[in-house]
Structure 1
């Protein structure tokens, strides 16, 4: 059987900086916003950030180690201790590598869980990636790729529905072998080896073998099958004999029979010349001359794959990257990155550092990203329970205060972090009540500063105190939900300009708590509740105040705007945003031009300030975002960089929507000089709100007029009004505000090849 793809192979070419040359972005737009869309498309600068410690596949050629991980591919040069990352921004279709192989001409072939295969040709300077969609587009219900192996020009592909062969040079599938065992319609194939023109495959039913060039392998008649209880996970070759392994042991294939050699559980077998190396999980054994010997045992993590470099064992480890075993010791290598790929909540401090709470379940702690340190792509620092014994890795919320970073955890209470990265913990022992089932399990879902007071939102407390008030690290007051004390499943807290507290509840409400400026006098407190009955599209999930003071409400079925914060229940106060009707909203961020960046389960939508128009839309299919289900968004108003958090990692996008400058005194123009043949755009940074830019020749002739989107940055592509690149020379750039009372002037050199 041949697969016929409904879309052809797609090739993505990239330069040495990882800039995508022909990746297409399909924007949902209105014609009135066409200029903004073009600016977004031209200005894009995408980056991916992932945890690469879970190495699933590892290959060695020469002095190069290639690692396939759940966060993409990295190439490790052990003699230089240098890493090279390959992610979606470098052209990969995905980053969650399930299988991988390297061909004789050093092409890297990658398989993903959705059936897509990438063929990557690379050099130190550029990449070329071919995406193969045939398996993904097939009618098979389970498209998982279990293994890839290249023998000459033939690629063997093991899947959960059979074995496939692919001609690499012609970029076409040859055959699909499903019914290897006659009574099994679709068989799972986990490994393959070829010995003396016979192909041996490890399957969920046992071992299958057949003549490699037989025309009848497409039917069960072409295969000789040997059933093995528990199936076979891996196959190896030693002294022209076939060895196979599963959870029950290591077996020798003798003709059509199998003989158990050892009872050790076998995860994989690696051919190592005069021996085979066997991974049982944490242990690696050597089998030679009918003798089994344990070589090493990991303290943590599992061995996912094995290779050899300079007579040393190289292993892909589930939690420690690439391990190199030398002189009886392991050394582990992986690129700098976050401690995990979960990015459920994010915040940016005054220095532009990104703080990340990983996840409330199976979390990986807290991460901090410091962008572009000393010319590098940035630096990560991770805070985990392994470093701080009182810390919970299940971090739910991170907030930036005046002097501290606050972290709410799912079960470990509250964390305060000072400028020296010292941590202080507040939980049951400090007076915060835990959940009804276990009062030692303290869940803090949000934190907000108000002057010298810290408001702490407590989830599901046994004593019903949903809010604690803290000053100078001491709890001084607490509040129940006076609207209904049993409504204590609350997840977000925001404070408006008048001091009212807006609380998102899992009970389907937004609660508004007004203490009337008398915090310690509860007699004049007011509580109201806003729900679907009052005009919300669905149950609230997230709230965000925009630059005008309106409250944007994300719900399970779209967006609302509350425009009257004093009387939110008044008729007309709650408005619906039609553009995202029926979308599940995960998060909202506001940029410097008051545009709304909305994270949904279907990607990210950028809305105009009033929400009436869609400026852009990004998802995993039209951008380097790593998943359609975007959990969190954070916008750096100073740099104009927006971050998209998913459960597969982080993506950033450089935009022109940073907070506008107060005046033009800080206006910068770069790169200067500008080379149209190699530079993407001229960037004019430091603009005031809603600037217009005019480009003139040195003799005063108008070259181009640019209407900016309203933020701190504008761009020029080096072309005139006719769309032609301007000649080499000096050009004057003049920027001015809406009424012409503020003007900025600069100049730039254009150098044509």
Structure 2
């Protein structure tokens, strides 16, 4: 009974994270290194919310991302336990994830779910391993985790009267545990005292503000926020050793006879007498912000905020290199556009009112060989780049948009002409300034004309002919809502070269260039019956239906051509039945940020807070809903979607990273049943999505039974795959066990059998 109680106690504190590597890919940035750890010949580099592992002997990389089970939250610190062969990752929201050698990820939620600790004070500032125990310096105190039992031990609140106190650094020396704080001085207690839970057993021995405390050369050395290095004196307080660092310490690391301090501008290595033996400031004349440093053999590995990990050889400083796993320049992805086997990424965002963030981040291009990241200077210094528009007649010809200073031609990876108020019809919202020329979107027609929309001006629509001639269209004189007080949003061109674009206040506008006529849908009855006049995204499906997203939901116009007819049709909502069989409007009150249509006319819909949905062609059936809880999505706000029909990848852009689902290609009907498989398999505890049975022929019949032959699910495929929510005909989730998949083609000529394991 005691053993069972222990197992239940452990399970209440952690759970297995789901591995999605069979059906997802991750594309995270590794430019900003938060922390470094060493394990033998391996260097672990933690970036914003993912990790790359560098093999110093082979020069190779592995990555650990949300696809492998990481949470996608921002990382505060990492630690590698050589004794237990465990990687421990701490996140700013208090979640701890433990990664054993098997690669399976364990979620430890005790700190994250602790209601009495402020959400902004749950990150870990430093780890200290002693025996089976891992001490964590946090913003609320010292938490202790048992690496053998995989459970939390005690938590020490050592502030005055037992209050929570932010601990920046901890270490043990001479029988004492030291805690360096910003507001509570240096505190210590006897490490052998069995009552360290009692704050009265902790003594404040100094009133300074401290960044670091480190055991080195059989003594304790600490660094004040004034950058002075001190060590305990005979009275138990600290005395300076006559050394002041050139900047505040961000990290300290001991390697045998050397101690390394990383500061924002410098990395310094000292010997046991605190003689400086090596210093890194700039590299090849360029300065970087440093975050952490590890001395390993004759190499200094340094984390930077923008350039990944730097290696500098101590004995030969000119032998240096930047080491970074392949990825985009930044994690905060705003838009994505695909070509066959290629992807373009932008980072410049704007808010719901289309006010730009003035980000200076460049753009990125994913090709088969890897990532090509173009700096801001390589795109003519454009700020707040929300989109690139690809010329369908020449995929190497792009137009890069800016929400600040116009747009540029970008051909074969080289910036060309920049268009603004002096060489086009584009206008500034604050004339005569060359800045504040806001171009959120663009599209090409079949004649090679580039159409772009502009925000907060009357001439909201512009056309550039293939010969380079610009023409502006005064939309504000037709619809006063689309003027200097409003922003345009998204634009598309119909099959017969009509123009449709959205706005934040004026509804959905159509323009027929052949007739020079405008039309519009608004929220009024018999005028479109939109949810409201805010249009966030638009898309035409394979049946020429226009899908319209707003910040409050979704509408569908049955025929896109009706927008240009004299008899305007109202749009319709999609009505579905919820779990209680109550009719409701699909995505009501949900911000719809993007809509994409795949080869089967299914609709991928990105939302502002509920992840991404895959709906059937009519929208009446939800095939998938991906969120942070059931997929590798690093955030539930999905800003943009792009589909590569060649690879079958569906890319999802979020502010915390870019991931892709391997979906479309696999969902097409197969000629036979030779490659049938189910994923995820096994289904692990905590998984709340659908199981997909893929590799099917069209109209294949799938029967699922338990091991005793009881039928629990049956369906006929409408393409190359089906989804099962792991519920039986009764509506209840099936129990743990092995389930048999009996599959036959429409003509019953071919059959196959497969297995699926479910673990609750």
**Aligned equivalents of 1:682 and 1:220: distance in 2?**
57
1:270 aligns with 2:248: no
Q: Does 1:135 align with 2:126?
A: no
Distance in 2 separating the partners of 1:672 and 1:575: 37
1:492 and 1:111 map into 2 onto residues whose CA distance is 40
Query: Residues 563 and 750 (structure 1 numbering): CA distance in 2 closer, same or farther, change over 3 Å?
Result: closer
TM-score relative to the length of structure 1: 0.80
Question: Which residue of structure 1 lines up, in the alignment, with residue 628 of structure 2?
Answer: 620
- Residue 515 of structure 1 is matched in structure 2 by 512
Correspondence for 1:161: 140
CA contact under 8 A between 1:266 and 1:278: conserved in structure 2?
no
Question: Post-superposition shift, 1:417?
Answer: 3.5
Distance 1:95 1:473 in 2: 48
SS of the residue corresponding to residue 628 of structure 1 reads coil
The residue aligned with 1:426 is 418
Q: Is the 8 A contact 2:24 2:659 kept in 1?
A: yes
Name the counterpart of 1:414.
407
Shift of 1:526: 2.4
Which residue of the partner structure matches residue 39 of structure 1? none
State the match for 1:248 in structure 2: 226
User: Which among 331, 345, 348 is matched to residue 335 of structure 2?
Assistant: 345
Shift of 1:207: 1.6
In the alignment, the residues of structure 1 paired with residue 701 and residue 164 of structure 2 have an alpha-carbon distance, to the nearest angstrom, of 65
TM-score by length of 2: 0.80
- Note the C-alpha offset of 1:660: 5.6
Q: What are the within-5 Å matches in structure 2 for residues 335-734 of structure 1?
A: 335-349=325-339, 351-360=340-349, 361=357, 362=359, 364-370=361-367, 373=368, 379-386=370-377, 388=378, 390-392=380-382, 394-402=384-392, 403=394, 404-418=397-411, 420-428=412-420, 429-431=422-424, 432-436=426-430, 438-450=433-445, 451-461=447-457, 464-472=458-466, 474-481=468-475, 482-484=478-480, 485-506=483-504, 508-515=505-512, 517-518=514-515, 524-528=516-520, 530-531=522-523, 535-538=529-532, 539-567=534-562, 570=568, 572-575=570-573, 578-600=585-607, 601-656=609-664, 667=671, 671=675, 684=695, 691-693=698-700, 709-711=717-719, 724=740
Q: How many residues align structurally?
A: 669
Q: Does 1:9 align with 2:14?
A: yes
Structure 1 residue 228: deviation in Å?
A: 4.4
In structure 2, C-alpha distance between the alignment counterparts of 1:576 and 1:673, rounded to whole Å: 33
Distance 1:92 1:136 in 2: 15
CA drift at 1:493: 1.0
- 1:280, 1:224 → 2: CA distance? 29
Q: 1:209 aligns with which of 174, 188, 193?
A: 188
SS of residue matched to 2:617: coil
Q: Do 2:508 and 2:535's aligned partners in 1 also have CA atoms closer than 8 Å?
A: no
**Relative contact order, CA 8 A, sep 6+: which one is greater?**
1
* Contact 2:651–2:659 (8 Å) recurs in 1: yes
Deviations 1:601-636 (A, max 9, x none): 221122222223322211001111111111111123
CA RMSD of aligned residues (A): 3.7
Q: 1:458 to 1:104 in 2, by over 3 A?
A: same
**Alignment check: 8 A CA contact 1:384 1:392 kept:** no
CA distance in 2, matches of 1:641, 1:746: 29
Matched residue SS, 1:221? helix
Distance 1:652-1:290 versus aligned 2 partners, 3 A rule? closer
- Return closer, same or farther for 1:495/1:346 CA change in 2, 3 Å cut-off: same
Query: Per-residue displacement from partner, 1:677-720 (whole Å, max 9, x unpaired)?
Result: 99x999548x7xxx22379xxxxxxxxx996654466799xxxx
Residue aligned with 1:394, SS: coil
Distance in 2, matches of 1:215 and 1:503, equals 70
Cα distance, 1:749–1:614 mapped onto 2, change above 3 Å: closer
Partners of 1:503 and 1:537 in 2: how far apart? Answer: 16
User: Unmatched 5+ residue regions in structure 1?
Assistant: 20-43, 519-523, 696-704, 717-721, 737-742
Aligned to 1:38: none
The answer as to whether partners of 1:336 and 1:380 remain within 8 angstroms in 2 is yes
- Structure 1 counterpart of 2:307, from 320, 325, 330: 320
Q: CA deviation at 1:341?
A: 0.8
8 Å CA contact retained: 1:187, 1:204: no
Separation in 2 of the partners of 1:239 and 1:512?
73
CA, structure 1 residues 71+425, in 2 after alignment: closer, same or farther (shift >3 Å)?
farther
Give the C-alpha shift of residue 102 in structure 1. Answer: 0.7
Over 3 Å counting, the alpha-carbon distance change for 1:532 and 1:166 in structure 2 is farther
Asked if the contact 1:449/1:455 (under 8 Å) is kept, the reply is yes
CA offsets, 1:344-376, max 9 Å, x none?
111222x23222222233353222223xx4xxx
For the structure 1 residues 656 and 468, does the alpha-carbon distance in structure 2 shift closer, same or farther, using more than 3 Å as the test?
closer
With over 3 angstroms needed to count, the CA separation of the structure-2 counterparts of 1:479 and 1:96, relative to structure 1, is: same
Residue of structure 1 in register with 2:686 after alignment: none
Structure 2 counterpart of 1:109, from 88, 105, 117:
88
Question: Which residue of 1 is the match for residue 171 of structure 2?
Answer: 193
Work out whether residues 157 and 165 of structure 1, in 8 Å CA contact, stay in contact via their aligned partners in 2: yes
Hey, what's the Cα distance between the residues in 2 that align with 1:84 and 1:412?
A: 39
State whether residues 656 and 711 of structure 1, in contact with CA within 8 Å, keep that contact through their aligned partners in structure 2.
no
Unaligned runs of 5+ in 2: 1-8, 350-356, 576-584, 683-690, 703-712, 725-737, 756-760
| Deviation of the 1:454 alpha carbon | 0.8
Structure 1's 333 and 118: CA in aligned 2 closer, same or farther, altered over 3 A? same
Alignment deviations for residues 218-273 of structure 1 (CA, whole Å, 9 cap, x no partner): 233111224545x3222223333322224421230332134373153222222233
- Residue 281 of structure 2 is matched in structure 1 by 297
